[in-house]
Protein backbone atom coordinates (compact mmCIF):
# COMPACT_ATOMS: atom_id res chain seq x y z
CA UNK A 1 0.00 0.00 0.00
CA UNK A 2 1.55 3.30 -1.08
CA UNK A 3 1.30 5.68 1.87
CA UNK A 4 2.24 9.23 1.01
CA UNK A 5 0.57 12.41 2.31
CA UNK A 6 -2.51 13.38 0.31
CA UNK A 7 -2.20 16.55 -1.79
CA UNK A 8 -2.78 19.84 -0.01
CA UNK A 9 -6.36 20.93 -0.62
CA UNK A 10 -6.55 23.64 2.01
CA UNK A 11 -8.56 24.34 5.15
CA UNK A 12 -11.60 22.30 6.13
CA UNK A 13 -14.38 22.09 8.69
CA UNK A 14 -16.01 19.21 10.49
CA UNK A 15 -19.43 18.78 8.88
CA UNK A 16 -22.07 18.75 11.61
CA UNK A 17 -25.86 18.51 11.25
CA UNK A 18 -26.53 21.92 12.81
CA UNK A 19 -24.64 23.60 9.95
CA UNK A 20 -26.12 21.63 7.01
CA UNK A 21 -28.64 24.21 5.86
CA UNK A 22 -26.38 27.22 6.31
CA UNK A 23 -23.66 25.55 4.27
CA UNK A 24 -26.07 24.85 1.42
CA UNK A 25 -27.60 28.32 1.62
CA UNK A 26 -24.39 30.33 1.84
CA UNK A 27 -21.76 28.08 0.18
CA UNK A 28 -19.01 29.30 2.55
CA UNK A 29 -15.35 29.59 1.65
CA UNK A 30 -14.37 26.16 2.99
CA UNK A 31 -11.98 23.99 0.99
CA UNK A 32 -13.34 20.64 2.19
CA UNK A 33 -15.52 19.06 4.86
CA UNK A 34 -14.81 16.12 7.15
CA UNK A 35 -17.66 13.78 8.11
CA UNK A 36 -17.83 11.31 10.97
CA UNK A 37 -17.86 8.01 9.07
CA UNK A 38 -20.19 6.14 11.43
CA UNK A 39 -22.90 8.82 11.15
CA UNK A 40 -23.35 7.74 7.54
CA UNK A 41 -23.52 3.99 8.14
CA UNK A 42 -27.30 4.53 8.14
CA UNK A 43 -29.19 3.88 4.93
CA UNK A 44 -30.82 7.20 4.15
CA UNK A 45 -32.87 10.06 5.48
CA UNK A 46 -31.71 13.53 6.40
CA UNK A 47 -27.98 12.79 6.92
CA UNK A 48 -27.59 11.45 3.37
CA UNK A 49 -30.05 13.97 1.95
CA UNK A 50 -27.79 16.83 3.03
CA UNK A 51 -24.46 15.10 2.48
CA UNK A 52 -25.30 14.21 -1.10
CA UNK A 53 -25.95 17.90 -1.84
CA UNK A 54 -22.87 19.14 0.03
CA UNK A 55 -20.57 16.63 -1.63
CA UNK A 56 -21.62 17.92 -5.02
CA UNK A 57 -20.07 21.27 -4.05
CA UNK A 58 -17.17 20.38 -1.74
CA UNK A 59 -14.58 17.61 -1.40
CA UNK A 60 -15.31 15.31 1.54
CA UNK A 61 -12.95 13.38 3.80
CA UNK A 62 -14.03 10.65 6.23
CA UNK A 63 -13.03 10.39 9.88
CA UNK A 64 -14.03 7.39 11.97
CA UNK A 65 -14.33 7.02 15.73
CA UNK A 66 -15.10 3.31 16.19
CA UNK A 67 -12.66 1.20 14.20
CA UNK A 68 -10.77 0.27 17.36
CA UNK A 69 -7.70 -0.64 15.35
CA UNK A 70 -5.68 -1.27 18.50
CA UNK A 71 -8.10 -3.81 19.96
CA UNK A 72 -6.76 -7.29 20.66
CA UNK A 73 -10.12 -8.83 19.71
CA UNK A 74 -10.65 -10.28 16.25
CA UNK A 75 -10.74 -7.71 13.46
CA UNK A 76 -14.33 -6.51 13.12
CA UNK A 77 -15.04 -7.20 9.47
CA UNK A 78 -18.72 -6.26 9.86
CA UNK A 79 -17.57 -2.77 10.77
CA UNK A 80 -15.05 -2.69 7.93
CA UNK A 81 -17.72 -3.80 5.45
CA UNK A 82 -19.96 -0.90 6.51
CA UNK A 83 -17.03 1.49 6.28
CA UNK A 84 -16.08 0.25 2.82
CA UNK A 85 -19.66 0.59 1.61
CA UNK A 86 -19.80 4.15 2.94
CA UNK A 87 -16.43 4.98 1.34
CA UNK A 88 -17.74 3.75 -2.02
CA UNK A 89 -20.80 5.98 -1.66
CA UNK A 90 -18.98 9.10 -0.39
CA UNK A 91 -15.80 8.85 -2.50
CA UNK A 92 -13.73 10.76 0.09
CA UNK A 93 -10.33 12.30 -0.55
CA UNK A 94 -8.93 10.27 2.34
CA UNK A 95 -10.06 8.19 5.33
CA UNK A 96 -8.89 8.40 8.92
CA UNK A 97 -9.58 6.93 12.36
CA UNK A 98 -7.83 6.95 15.74
CA UNK A 99 -4.73 5.25 17.04
CA UNK A 100 -6.41 3.64 20.03
CA UNK A 101 -8.75 0.86 21.05
CA UNK A 102 -12.39 1.44 21.86
CA UNK A 103 -13.94 -2.01 21.87
CA UNK A 104 -13.07 -5.43 23.19
CA UNK A 105 -15.09 -8.48 22.23
CA UNK A 106 -18.70 -7.38 21.99
CA UNK A 107 -18.20 -4.45 24.37
CA UNK A 108 -17.91 -0.98 22.90
CA UNK A 109 -16.79 1.87 25.15
CA UNK A 110 -17.43 4.59 22.54
CA UNK A 111 -14.26 6.21 23.87
CA UNK A 112 -10.76 6.54 22.45
CA UNK A 113 -8.69 4.50 24.89
CA UNK A 114 -4.92 4.92 24.69
CA UNK A 115 -2.53 2.16 23.68
CA UNK A 116 0.57 1.36 25.75
CA UNK A 117 3.63 2.45 23.83
CA UNK A 118 5.44 -0.87 23.60
CA UNK A 119 7.05 -3.14 21.03
CA UNK A 120 4.05 -5.44 21.40
CA UNK A 121 1.68 -2.58 20.47
CA UNK A 122 3.85 -1.65 17.51
CA UNK A 123 3.74 -5.21 16.20
CA UNK A 124 0.01 -5.44 16.84
CA UNK A 125 -0.82 -2.13 15.15
CA UNK A 126 1.47 -2.82 12.19
CA UNK A 127 -0.35 -6.09 11.58
CA UNK A 128 -3.82 -4.58 12.05
CA UNK A 129 -3.07 -1.65 9.80
CA UNK A 130 -1.98 -4.01 7.05
CA UNK A 131 -5.21 -6.06 7.36
CA UNK A 132 -7.43 -2.95 7.37
CA UNK A 133 -5.68 -1.27 4.46
CA UNK A 134 -5.74 -4.47 2.41
CA UNK A 135 -9.46 -4.83 3.07
CA UNK A 136 -10.29 -1.18 2.31
CA UNK A 137 -7.85 -1.09 -0.58
CA UNK A 138 -6.68 2.34 0.47
CA UNK A 139 -4.46 3.94 3.13
CA UNK A 140 -5.85 4.57 6.59
CA UNK A 141 -4.68 7.73 8.33
CA UNK A 142 -4.39 7.51 12.14
CA UNK A 143 -5.03 10.30 14.64
CA UNK A 144 -3.18 10.68 17.94
CA UNK A 145 -5.67 10.68 20.83
CA UNK A 146 -5.79 12.78 23.99
CA UNK A 147 -4.97 10.80 27.11
CA UNK A 148 -5.39 11.12 30.84
CA UNK A 149 -3.14 8.26 31.88
CA UNK A 150 0.06 6.56 30.83
CA UNK A 151 0.87 2.91 31.42
CA UNK A 152 3.52 1.31 33.60
CA UNK A 153 4.46 -0.98 30.71
CA UNK A 154 5.09 1.79 28.17
CA UNK A 155 8.61 1.56 26.82
CA UNK A 156 8.75 4.82 24.85
CA UNK A 157 7.09 8.21 24.51
CA UNK A 158 3.97 8.59 22.39
CA UNK A 159 5.89 10.60 19.77
CA UNK A 160 8.67 8.01 19.56
CA UNK A 161 5.95 5.38 19.16
CA UNK A 162 4.30 7.25 16.27
CA UNK A 163 7.61 7.86 14.55
CA UNK A 164 8.50 4.19 14.84
CA UNK A 165 5.09 3.09 13.57
CA UNK A 166 5.56 5.35 10.56
CA UNK A 167 9.03 3.94 9.97
CA UNK A 168 7.68 0.38 10.00
CA UNK A 169 4.46 0.88 8.05
CA UNK A 170 4.79 4.24 6.26
CA UNK A 171 1.38 5.05 7.78
CA UNK A 172 0.21 8.65 7.78
CA UNK A 173 -1.01 10.59 10.79
CA UNK A 174 -3.76 13.04 11.42
CA UNK A 175 -1.94 15.19 13.92
CA UNK A 176 -4.41 16.70 16.37
CA UNK A 177 -2.52 19.61 17.86
CA UNK A 178 -5.13 20.10 20.57
CA UNK A 179 -4.78 16.43 21.58
CA UNK A 180 -1.02 16.88 21.80
CA UNK A 181 -1.53 19.94 24.01
CA UNK A 182 -4.09 18.14 26.21
CA UNK A 183 -1.81 15.12 26.70
CA UNK A 184 1.19 17.39 27.26
CA UNK A 185 -0.59 19.17 30.11
CA UNK A 186 -1.90 15.92 31.58
CA UNK A 187 1.48 14.18 31.42
CA UNK A 188 3.81 17.14 31.83
CA UNK A 189 5.79 17.04 28.59
CA UNK A 190 6.62 19.73 26.02
CA UNK A 191 4.13 19.63 23.13
CA UNK A 192 6.72 21.02 20.73
CA UNK A 193 8.95 18.00 21.39
CA UNK A 194 6.06 15.75 20.26
CA UNK A 195 5.44 17.75 17.08
CA UNK A 196 9.12 17.98 16.19
CA UNK A 197 9.48 14.20 16.39
CA UNK A 198 6.91 13.49 13.68
CA UNK A 199 8.52 13.53 10.24
CA UNK A 200 7.02 15.67 7.51
CA UNK A 201 6.36 12.61 5.35
CA UNK A 202 4.11 11.20 8.07
CA UNK A 203 1.59 14.04 8.43
CA UNK A 204 -1.53 13.96 6.28
CA UNK A 205 -3.84 16.27 8.19
CA UNK A 206 -4.06 18.60 11.16
CA UNK A 207 -6.97 18.92 13.61
CA UNK A 208 -7.45 22.07 15.67
CA UNK A 209 -10.00 21.95 18.47
CA UNK A 210 -10.88 23.19 21.94
CA UNK A 211 -10.92 21.55 25.38
CA UNK A 212 -12.03 22.11 28.97
CA UNK A 213 -9.35 23.12 31.45
CA UNK A 214 -9.94 21.93 35.02
CA UNK A 215 -6.64 23.25 36.36
CA UNK A 216 -5.27 19.92 37.57
CA UNK A 217 -6.00 18.33 34.20
CA UNK A 218 -7.55 19.01 30.79
CA UNK A 219 -10.40 17.09 29.18
CA UNK A 220 -10.58 16.94 25.41
CA UNK A 221 -14.21 18.01 25.05
CA UNK A 222 -14.16 19.64 21.60
CA UNK A 223 -16.83 22.02 22.89
CA UNK A 224 -14.79 25.20 23.38
CA UNK A 225 -12.97 27.64 21.12
CA UNK A 226 -9.37 26.79 20.26
CA UNK A 227 -7.10 28.14 23.01
CA UNK A 228 -4.16 30.51 22.45
CA UNK A 229 -1.53 27.86 23.22
CA UNK A 230 -2.91 25.55 20.52
CA UNK A 231 -2.99 28.42 18.03
CA UNK A 232 0.65 29.17 18.86
CA UNK A 233 1.64 25.54 18.31
CA UNK A 234 -0.16 25.56 14.97
CA UNK A 235 1.49 28.81 13.93
CA UNK A 236 4.94 27.42 14.73
CA UNK A 237 4.10 24.22 12.87
CA UNK A 238 2.88 26.11 9.81
CA UNK A 239 6.00 28.28 9.70
CA UNK A 240 8.28 25.28 9.86
CA UNK A 241 6.53 22.77 7.64
CA UNK A 242 5.21 22.19 4.16
CA UNK A 243 1.45 22.78 3.82
CA UNK A 244 -0.76 20.22 5.57
CA UNK A 245 -4.54 19.95 5.22
CA UNK A 246 -5.88 21.64 8.33
CA UNK A 247 -9.31 21.40 9.91
CA UNK A 248 -11.34 23.03 12.68
CA UNK A 249 -13.08 20.34 14.71
CA UNK A 250 -16.06 21.09 16.96
CA UNK A 251 -18.28 18.32 18.36
CA UNK A 252 -20.48 19.95 21.00
CA UNK A 253 -21.72 23.28 22.35
CA UNK A 254 -21.86 24.45 18.76
CA UNK A 255 -21.36 28.17 18.18
CA UNK A 256 -22.82 30.07 15.23
CA UNK A 257 -21.44 29.09 11.84
CA UNK A 258 -19.93 32.58 11.66
CA UNK A 259 -17.82 31.86 14.74
CA UNK A 260 -16.60 28.52 13.34
CA UNK A 261 -15.73 30.28 10.08
CA UNK A 262 -13.79 32.90 12.07
CA UNK A 263 -11.62 30.08 13.51
CA UNK A 264 -11.09 28.71 10.01
CA UNK A 265 -10.00 32.15 8.82
CA UNK A 266 -7.71 32.48 11.83
CA UNK A 267 -6.00 29.21 10.83
CA UNK A 268 -5.64 30.46 7.26
CA UNK A 269 -4.24 33.75 8.55
CA UNK A 270 -1.63 32.09 10.76
CA UNK A 271 -0.31 29.94 7.92
CA UNK A 272 2.37 31.43 5.68
CA UNK A 273 1.65 32.36 2.07
CA UNK A 274 3.17 29.07 0.96
CA UNK A 275 0.09 27.38 2.46
CA UNK A 276 -2.20 29.02 -0.06
CA UNK A 277 -4.01 26.14 -1.71
CA UNK A 278 -3.80 27.86 -5.10
CA UNK A 279 -0.07 27.27 -5.18
CA UNK A 280 -0.74 23.57 -4.92
CA UNK A 281 -3.90 23.29 -6.96
CA UNK B 1 -2.88 -13.79 27.88
CA UNK B 2 -0.53 -11.20 26.37
CA UNK B 3 0.34 -8.03 28.27
CA UNK B 4 -1.65 -5.94 25.79
CA UNK B 5 -4.68 -8.21 25.96
CA UNK B 6 -4.63 -8.27 29.76
CA UNK B 7 -4.33 -4.49 29.93
CA UNK B 8 -7.27 -3.97 27.56
CA UNK B 9 -9.35 -6.55 29.41
CA UNK B 10 -8.70 -4.81 32.75
CA UNK B 11 -9.42 -1.38 31.24
CA UNK B 12 -12.82 -2.51 29.98
CA UNK B 13 -13.62 -4.18 33.31
CA UNK B 14 -12.78 -0.91 35.08
CA UNK B 15 -15.07 1.07 32.78
CA UNK B 16 -17.92 -1.27 33.62
CA UNK B 17 -17.34 -0.81 37.34
CA UNK B 18 -16.19 -4.36 37.91
CA UNK B 19 -13.56 -5.07 40.54
CA UNK B 20 -10.23 -4.87 38.85
CA UNK B 21 -6.63 -4.15 39.40
CA UNK B 22 -6.55 -1.73 36.50
CA UNK B 23 -4.96 1.10 38.49
CA UNK B 24 -1.85 -1.09 38.78
CA UNK B 25 -1.38 -0.63 35.04
CA UNK B 26 -1.37 3.17 35.36
CA UNK B 27 1.97 4.91 35.73
CA UNK B 28 2.34 7.19 38.73
CA UNK B 29 2.74 10.82 37.69
CA UNK B 30 2.67 14.22 39.30
CA UNK B 31 -0.75 15.73 39.79
CA UNK B 32 -3.64 13.31 39.65
CA UNK B 33 -3.47 9.94 41.37
CA UNK B 34 -3.68 6.72 39.33
CA UNK B 35 -7.22 6.18 40.66
CA UNK B 36 -8.28 9.66 39.55
CA UNK B 37 -6.85 9.05 36.09
CA UNK B 38 -8.86 5.85 35.76
CA UNK B 39 -11.98 7.61 37.03
CA UNK B 40 -11.76 10.18 34.22
CA UNK B 41 -12.33 7.37 31.72
CA UNK B 42 -15.00 5.69 33.85
CA UNK B 43 -16.93 8.95 34.23
CA UNK B 44 -16.56 9.81 30.55
CA UNK B 45 -17.95 6.39 29.60
CA UNK B 46 -21.04 6.87 31.77
CA UNK B 47 -21.60 10.52 30.85
CA UNK B 48 -21.27 9.90 27.12
CA UNK B 49 -23.76 7.03 27.06
CA UNK B 50 -26.19 8.80 29.36
CA UNK B 51 -26.14 11.77 27.04
CA UNK B 52 -27.00 9.53 24.09
CA UNK B 53 -30.02 8.16 25.95
CA UNK B 54 -31.09 11.66 26.99
CA UNK B 55 -30.95 12.81 23.37
CA UNK B 56 -32.72 9.75 21.99
CA UNK B 57 -35.36 9.62 24.74
CA UNK B 58 -36.05 13.23 25.60
CA UNK B 59 -39.76 12.81 26.34
CA UNK B 60 -39.24 9.57 28.25
CA UNK B 61 -36.79 11.54 30.37
CA UNK B 62 -39.39 14.20 31.08
CA UNK B 63 -42.01 11.56 31.87
CA UNK B 64 -39.73 9.73 34.29
CA UNK B 65 -38.06 12.75 35.90
CA UNK B 66 -34.32 13.02 36.54
CA UNK B 67 -34.05 10.56 39.42
CA UNK B 68 -35.85 7.66 37.74
CA UNK B 69 -34.16 8.39 34.42
CA UNK B 70 -30.77 8.15 36.16
CA UNK B 71 -31.80 4.79 37.68
CA UNK B 72 -32.87 3.60 34.24
CA UNK B 73 -29.52 4.63 32.71
CA UNK B 74 -27.64 2.89 35.53
CA UNK B 75 -29.59 -0.35 35.01
CA UNK B 76 -29.24 -0.11 31.26
CA UNK B 77 -25.48 0.40 31.33
CA UNK B 78 -25.10 -2.55 33.64
CA UNK B 79 -27.44 -4.93 31.76
CA UNK B 80 -27.06 -3.81 28.17
CA UNK B 81 -23.55 -2.48 27.52
CA UNK B 82 -23.07 -1.19 24.00
CA UNK B 83 -22.32 -3.86 21.41
CA UNK B 84 -22.53 -1.65 18.38
CA UNK B 85 -19.92 0.56 16.78
CA UNK B 86 -22.62 3.18 16.30
CA UNK B 87 -24.11 5.12 19.20
CA UNK B 88 -27.23 5.36 17.07
CA UNK B 89 -28.13 1.79 18.09
CA UNK B 90 -27.05 1.97 21.72
CA UNK B 91 -30.55 2.57 23.12
CA UNK B 92 -32.32 -0.06 21.02
CA UNK B 93 -32.96 -2.28 24.04
CA UNK B 94 -34.39 0.43 26.31
CA UNK B 95 -38.00 -0.78 25.68
CA UNK B 96 -36.84 -4.29 26.62
CA UNK B 97 -35.33 -3.03 29.89
CA UNK B 98 -38.48 -1.09 30.78
CA UNK B 99 -40.61 -4.17 30.16
CA UNK B 100 -38.49 -6.43 32.32
CA UNK B 101 -37.04 -4.29 35.11
CA UNK B 102 -38.87 -4.75 38.45
CA UNK B 103 -38.61 -1.00 38.99
CA UNK B 104 -40.36 -0.07 35.72
CA UNK B 105 -42.35 -3.02 34.37
CA UNK B 106 -45.53 -2.22 36.33
CA UNK B 107 -45.85 0.98 34.27
CA UNK B 108 -46.42 -0.30 30.75
CA UNK B 109 -46.59 3.18 29.27
CA UNK B 110 -42.83 3.63 29.80
CA UNK B 111 -41.84 0.83 27.41
CA UNK B 112 -44.38 2.15 24.90
CA UNK B 113 -43.00 5.71 25.02
CA UNK B 114 -39.46 4.34 24.64
CA UNK B 115 -40.51 2.17 21.70
CA UNK B 116 -42.25 5.12 20.03
CA UNK B 117 -39.06 7.17 20.34
CA UNK B 118 -36.98 4.31 18.87
CA UNK B 119 -39.38 4.11 15.91
CA UNK B 120 -39.03 7.86 15.31
CA UNK B 121 -35.25 7.43 15.23
CA UNK B 122 -35.53 4.52 12.82
CA UNK B 123 -37.79 6.47 10.49
CA UNK B 124 -35.37 9.41 10.54
CA UNK B 125 -32.53 7.60 8.79
CA UNK B 126 -34.16 4.56 7.16
CA UNK B 127 -33.17 3.71 3.59
CA UNK B 128 -34.28 6.05 0.82
CA UNK B 129 -36.27 4.68 -2.08
CA UNK B 130 -38.58 6.21 -4.66
CA UNK B 131 -42.14 6.39 -3.37
CA UNK B 132 -45.32 5.24 -5.07
CA UNK B 133 -47.02 7.92 -7.14
CA UNK B 134 -50.61 8.17 -8.33
CA UNK B 135 -49.41 7.69 -11.91
CA UNK B 136 -48.18 4.20 -10.99
CA UNK B 137 -51.68 3.21 -9.89
CA UNK B 138 -53.25 4.68 -13.00
CA UNK B 139 -51.01 2.53 -15.18
CA UNK B 140 -52.13 -0.74 -13.56
CA UNK B 141 -54.45 -2.91 -15.69
CA UNK B 142 -57.80 -3.45 -13.95
CA UNK B 143 -57.43 -7.23 -14.14
CA UNK B 144 -54.05 -7.05 -12.40
CA UNK B 145 -55.33 -5.24 -9.30
CA UNK B 146 -56.22 -8.24 -7.10
CA UNK B 147 -52.68 -9.59 -7.34
CA UNK B 148 -50.83 -6.34 -6.87
CA UNK B 149 -48.48 -6.40 -3.84
CA UNK B 150 -47.75 -3.01 -2.33
CA UNK B 151 -44.59 -2.58 -0.27
CA UNK B 152 -44.13 -0.30 2.71
CA UNK B 153 -41.32 2.26 2.61
CA UNK B 154 -38.41 1.31 4.87
CA UNK B 155 -39.18 4.23 7.19
CA UNK B 156 -42.73 2.99 7.90
CA UNK B 157 -43.27 1.55 11.37
CA UNK B 158 -46.60 0.36 12.80
CA UNK B 159 -47.25 0.73 16.50
CA UNK B 160 -50.08 -0.47 18.71
CA UNK B 161 -50.39 1.13 22.13
CA UNK B 162 -52.27 -0.16 25.11
CA UNK B 163 -51.48 3.06 26.98
CA UNK B 164 -51.56 6.73 26.05
CA UNK B 165 -47.87 6.68 25.08
CA UNK B 166 -48.09 8.77 21.92
CA UNK B 167 -50.55 11.25 23.44
CA UNK B 168 -48.28 11.64 26.47
CA UNK B 169 -45.25 12.10 24.22
CA UNK B 170 -47.10 14.80 22.30
CA UNK B 171 -48.27 16.57 25.44
CA UNK B 172 -44.73 16.65 26.86
CA UNK B 173 -43.30 17.81 23.55
CA UNK B 174 -45.74 20.72 23.60
CA UNK B 175 -44.83 21.61 27.16
CA UNK B 176 -48.05 20.23 28.64
CA UNK B 177 -48.93 17.51 31.15
CA UNK B 178 -49.41 13.95 29.97
CA UNK B 179 -52.92 12.46 30.12
CA UNK B 180 -53.81 9.42 32.22
CA UNK B 181 -51.83 6.39 31.00
CA UNK B 182 -54.96 4.27 30.65
CA UNK B 183 -56.91 4.99 27.49
CA UNK B 184 -59.41 2.11 27.52
CA UNK B 185 -58.33 0.04 24.55
CA UNK B 186 -55.69 -0.47 21.92
CA UNK B 187 -54.75 2.43 19.62
CA UNK B 188 -52.79 2.16 16.41
CA UNK B 189 -50.21 4.49 14.88
CA UNK B 190 -48.02 4.74 11.85
CA UNK B 191 -44.58 6.38 12.08
CA UNK B 192 -42.95 7.32 8.77
CA UNK B 193 -40.69 9.80 7.06
CA UNK B 194 -42.48 12.07 4.62
CA UNK B 195 -41.06 12.91 1.17
CA UNK B 196 -39.74 16.22 2.58
CA UNK B 197 -37.65 14.09 5.04
CA UNK B 198 -39.68 15.15 8.07
CA UNK B 199 -40.60 12.31 10.40
CA UNK B 200 -44.30 12.16 11.22
CA UNK B 201 -46.81 9.95 13.01
CA UNK B 202 -50.51 9.51 12.39
CA UNK B 203 -53.34 7.67 14.15
CA UNK B 204 -54.72 4.69 12.27
CA UNK B 205 -58.23 3.27 12.35
CA UNK B 206 -58.53 -0.43 13.14
CA UNK B 207 -59.35 -0.98 9.46
CA UNK B 208 -56.31 0.89 8.13
CA UNK B 209 -54.08 -0.80 10.68
CA UNK B 210 -55.28 -4.22 9.47
CA UNK B 211 -54.69 -3.20 5.86
CA UNK B 212 -51.15 -1.99 6.55
CA UNK B 213 -50.40 -5.12 8.58
CA UNK B 214 -51.57 -7.22 5.59
CA UNK B 215 -49.38 -5.17 3.25
CA UNK B 216 -46.44 -5.53 5.63
CA UNK B 217 -46.91 -9.32 5.45
CA UNK B 218 -46.69 -9.16 1.65
CA UNK B 219 -50.34 -10.00 0.96
CA UNK B 220 -51.78 -8.90 -2.41
CA UNK B 221 -54.37 -6.16 -2.87
CA UNK B 222 -57.27 -8.63 -3.00
CA UNK B 223 -56.40 -9.98 0.46
CA UNK B 224 -55.88 -6.46 1.81
CA UNK B 225 -59.41 -5.56 0.67
CA UNK B 226 -60.74 -8.70 2.33
CA UNK B 227 -59.00 -7.80 5.58
CA UNK B 228 -60.62 -4.36 5.40
CA UNK B 229 -64.03 -5.86 4.61
CA UNK B 230 -63.76 -8.13 7.64
CA UNK B 231 -63.19 -5.11 9.88
CA UNK B 232 -65.94 -2.87 8.46
CA UNK B 233 -68.35 -5.74 7.66
CA UNK B 234 -68.91 -4.77 4.03
CA UNK B 235 -66.95 -5.60 0.84
CA UNK B 236 -67.55 -2.28 -0.93
CA UNK B 237 -66.85 -0.22 2.18
CA UNK B 238 -63.68 -2.27 2.73
CA UNK B 239 -62.38 -1.54 -0.78
CA UNK B 240 -63.21 2.13 -0.30
CA UNK B 241 -61.20 2.17 2.94
CA UNK B 242 -58.21 0.60 1.17
CA UNK B 243 -58.37 3.20 -1.60
CA UNK B 244 -58.50 5.99 1.00
CA UNK B 245 -55.47 4.48 2.71
CA UNK B 246 -53.59 4.26 -0.59
CA UNK B 247 -54.35 7.91 -1.32
CA UNK B 248 -53.12 9.04 2.11
CA UNK B 249 -50.09 6.77 1.86
CA UNK B 250 -49.13 8.10 -1.57
CA UNK B 251 -49.28 11.69 -0.28
CA UNK B 252 -47.16 10.85 2.75
CA UNK B 253 -44.69 8.46 1.09
CA UNK B 254 -45.69 5.27 2.91
CA UNK B 255 -45.29 2.96 -0.10
CA UNK B 256 -42.37 2.37 -2.41
CA UNK B 257 -42.68 2.70 -6.18
CA UNK B 258 -43.35 -0.16 -8.59
CA UNK B 259 -45.58 -2.49 -6.62
CA UNK B 260 -44.99 -6.14 -7.49
CA UNK B 261 -47.26 -7.57 -10.16
CA UNK B 262 -48.01 -4.20 -11.72
CA UNK B 263 -46.10 -4.80 -14.93
Residues ≥6 apart with Cβ < 8 Å to A127: none
Co-location of B254 and B147 in the same domain = yes
Q: Is A123 among the domain residues?
A: yes
Co-location of B78 and B191 in the same domain = no
Q: Is B123 among the domain residues?
A: no
What confidence tier does A280 reach under pLDDT thresholds 50, 70, 90?
very low
CATH number of the CATH domain containing B197: 3.90.930.50
Our count of domains for chain B comes to: 2
**Closest in A38, A42, A152 to B85, CB measured:** A38
CATH number of the CATH domain containing A183: 3.20.20.150
**Boundaries of domain holding B136:** 129-263
Contact call for A149 and B87, based on CB within 8 A: no
What confidence tier does A100 reach under pLDDT thresholds 50, 70, 90?
very high
Co-location of B195 and B240 in the same domain = yes
Interface check B4 vs A, CB under 8 A:
yes
| B261 compared with B237, residue with greater pLDDT | B237
DSSP alpha helix (H) spans, chain A: 20-26, 46-57, 77-90, 119-136, 158-169, 177-187, 191-197, 228-240, 257-270
**Boundaries of domain holding A161:** 11-274
Co-location of B146 and B88 in the same domain = no
Q: Is A3 among the domain residues?
A: no
- pLDDT tens column, A146-156: 999 999 999 99
Co-location of B173 and B49 in the same domain = no
What confidence tier does B20 reach under pLDDT thresholds 50, 70, 90?
confident
- Report the Cα–Cα distance between both ends of chain A, in Å, rounded: 25
Co-location of B34 and B161 in the same domain = no
> What is the Cα–Cα distance from A8 to B18, expressed in whole angstroms?
47
Q: Is A262 among the domain residues?
A: yes
Q: B-chain residues within 8 Å CB-CB of A116?
A: 3-4, 7
Co-location of B159 and B217 in the same domain = yes
- pLDDT tens column, B123-149: 998 999 999 999 988 888 999 999 999
CA distance B130 to chain A (A): 12
Residue A153 burial (10 A CB sphere; 0-12, 13-18, 19+): middle
Co-location of B143 and B249 in the same domain = yes
Co-location of B142 and B257 in the same domain = yes
Our count of domains for chain A comes to: 1
DSSP state of A224: S
Q: Is B165 among the domain residues?
A: yes
CA distance A213 to chain B (A): 13
Co-location of B198 and B247 in the same domain = yes
Contact call for B7 and A109, based on CB within 8 A: no
Q: Name the closest residue on chain B to residue A106, using Cα atoms.
A: B83
Least confident of A145-159, A209-223, B3-17, B165-179: A209-223
Global ipTM: 0.94
Phi, psi dihedral angles at A172 (to 5 degrees) = -100, 155
pLDDT for position A281: 43
Interface check A254 vs B, CB under 8 A:
no
Co-location of B59 and B141 in the same domain = no
Contact call for A108 and B82, based on CB within 8 A: yes
Q: Is B119 among the domain residues?
A: no
Q: Is A280 among the domain residues?
A: no
- pLDDT tens column, B145-204: 999 999 999 999 999 999 999 999 999 999 999 999 998 889 999 999 998 889 999 999
Interface check B1 vs A, CB under 8 A:
no
> What is the Cα–Cα distance from A124 to A116, expressed in whole angstroms?
11
**Residues 159-178 in A contacting B (C-alpha not used; CB under 8 Å):** none
- pLDDT tens column, B239-256: 999 999 999 999 999 999
- pLDDT tens column, A40-78: 998 888 889 999 999 999 999 999 999 999 999 999 999
Show which of B75, B106, B137 is a domain's final residue. B106
CA distance B24 to chain A (A): 8
Q: Is B51 among the domain residues?
A: yes
Interface check B30 vs A, CB under 8 A:
yes
Three-state SS annotation for B104-127: CCCCHHHHHHHHHHHHHHHHHCCC
Is residue A245 within 8 Å of residue A208, measured between CB atoms?
A: no
Co-location of B189 and B93 in the same domain = no
Q: Is B117 among the domain residues?
A: no
Amino acid sequence: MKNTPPPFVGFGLGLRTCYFEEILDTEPNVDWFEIISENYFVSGGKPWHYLSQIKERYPIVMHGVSMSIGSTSDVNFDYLAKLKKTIERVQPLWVSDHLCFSSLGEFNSHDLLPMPYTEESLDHLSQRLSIVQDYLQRPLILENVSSYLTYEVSEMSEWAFLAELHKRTQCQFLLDINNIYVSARNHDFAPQEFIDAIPESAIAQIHLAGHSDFGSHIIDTHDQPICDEVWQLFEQFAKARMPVNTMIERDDNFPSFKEIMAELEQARGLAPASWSKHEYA
Amino acid sequence: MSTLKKLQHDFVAMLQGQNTTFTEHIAKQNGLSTAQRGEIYQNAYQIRLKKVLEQDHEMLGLYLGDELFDHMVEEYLSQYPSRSASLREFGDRIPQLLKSSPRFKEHGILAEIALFERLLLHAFDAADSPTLQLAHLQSIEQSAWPNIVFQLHDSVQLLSCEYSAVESWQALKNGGSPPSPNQGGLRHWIVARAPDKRTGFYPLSQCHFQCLTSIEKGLPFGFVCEAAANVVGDQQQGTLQVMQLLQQGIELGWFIASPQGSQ
